[in-house]
Structure 1
Amino acid sequence: MGIVRIENLNKSYGKGNTKVEALKDVSLTINQGEFVAIVGPSGSGKSTLLHLLGGVDRPTSGKVYVDGIDIYNLSEKELAIFRRRKVGFIFQFYNLVPVLTAEENITLPLLLDQKEVDKVHLEELVNILGLSERRHHLPNELSGGQQQRVSIGRALAYNPSIVLADEPTGNLDSKNSKEIIDLLKISVKKYNQTLILITHDLNIASQADRIITIEDGLIVQDEVTGNEKL
């Protein structure tokens, strides 16, 4: 059984003539440790699917199971806790808190949960991400690539089961993009996490274990690439 299991997932917005069906009866299973790339044209439903996987939005109908938990059977409070502890989010726009240092941004999910920071894990993350020399800098003192490294650290701070990345290299040049994808692959392998990544870059998608193509709210292709496991 996969770490992520989706059953007959539907999501629509609006009513009548303005109704938009963002996802149509999508079913999918993703296994522990897989790197899955989701591709498709703008407006195809990629981000909607990612948000439903992470408990950010609620489906119109259908089920999402993560680690065997039916996440939309949880209360709002339980769902918020689930998101903090089980899911790491990485976005195209880094969403860092401007008044917090790089290290404080990384540890923010733990502090919000009133959990003690694991100093060993934090040190390991900072070193993997190449932020040792920048850990006490504010976001506006960091380059775009460094800010995205901080957002990756924040996503991994709780050692989540799954990492959801929505166009994580969209604002970066090709050199930084490659470094960010390499970092993600190293990190999820080290911590045996599942990486689900939206991208328009087919070079990035080709590095995944699977490429799922979505068009008009439907999965039209689910291809195993033949790459070695992360």
Structure 2
Amino acid sequence: MSTPAVSYKRHRLPGELIAHAVWLYFRFPLSFRLIEEMLLERGIIVSYETIRLWCLKFGARFARSLRRRPAKRGDIWHLDEVRIVIGGQPHWLWRAVDQDGYVLDEILQTRRNTKAAKRLLRRLLSRQGARPKRMVTDKLRSYGAVRSKLTSSIRHLSHKRLNNRAENSHLPLRKRERIMQKFRSPGGCQRFVSVFSAVRNLFVPAASIDNAVSRHVHRVRAFAQWTNATALTV
């Protein structure tokens, strides 16, 4: 079943402005209050609470639309997990990225064990529709246990220094976590990272793009795709 188009009906301000505010929040390390101030400088009066509601309502819709047009992903998967404390309780964000740094999937879980690793890998195999050429992880034994059960044909490299690609993918989220003064709930964290990663996947050039002209072309195409995803052309 197809996802319905994004609709801005019954909103006082135009869709272009709503989509721009949502883009600012998920693309840059900005708070709702800073975005409120940036819009005010342009003569647009809107409260930070309204911007928060826009991000809640439209962020996930934009992300789903972006995922319907996925770019071709790499065949090397880097898997890693990062500790996030929510309400005083430790959680683990399990993330998989390819060799270019694109986020393939991520799940927030309360465990750091074989069962949690199995859930991530099963989702990856189901959603990607293809098996990787090799899988790179740190020394956590859970990855090896899951790989032997589900993906024994995939070459598995387990070494901390080989997994910098996955470890570096946590840094932008860590920066946002500090600005947001931590996440308030597991559900809120999962919703945020889902949209945050979809927007980063679209706008951040792949690690293999190493010249200014190619980066410029990439961003021009990204803005065109964003315009389609936010239904601003209809």
Structure with the bigger percentage of strand: 1
Structure with the bigger percentage of helix: 2
TM-score normalized by the length of structure 2: 0.31
| Structure with max Cα Rg | 2
TM-score normalized by the length of structure 1: 0.32
Q: Per chain length, whose mean CA-contact separation is higher, i.e. which structure has more relative contact order (CA < 8 Å, sep 6+)?
A: 1
